[in-house]
Amino acid sequence: MTDNTTRLDHVVLWVQDPVASADFYEKAVGMEPLRITDFAAGAVPFPSVRLNDETVFDLMPLTMVERMKMVPGAADSAGHPVNHICLALPGDDFQALRVRLEERSVPVSDFSYDSFGARGMARRSFYFRDPDGNVFEARHYD
């Protein structure tokens, strides 16, 4: 990629079991797992899942807390999830995500309508949690 405009690159999520989390994101959310084999072999410290061509979620095992020394207090973020992360999807993918979550008995919220976001007013949205309790909103604008 040669476009150097400002954009979201990655989100790091604290997780109990990175392999199980990757499986959830692949099968329930529809994201591509990355570096799973390398993680299982101990070659990399965490796996990731791809949201789109530009953005990944890193699945950081809670066992890495002691290594978080990039800024003072970074280790204290473990167990303190962000309020929520919002995924904007095309309408068909939005509906397919909800179906996959329901098929896996993942609780989902009722629909919300006409909520504001980065692209203006989203037609519909709903919320769900991953296995580690991170809250996600799914929405579509079309």
pLDDT digits (tens, 9 = 90+) for 52-76: 988 999 998 988 887 766 666 666 7
Residue 9 dihedral angles phi and psi, to the nearest 5° = -95, -55
Distance (Å, rounded) from C-alpha 130 to C-alpha 104?
12
> And the tokens for 117?
């976001």
Distance (Å, rounded) from C-alpha 56 to C-alpha 37?
17
pLDDT reported for residue 37: 97
Whether pTM exceeds 0.75 = yes
Query: Which of 2-16, 43-57, 71-85 ranks highest by mean pLDDT?
Result: 43-57
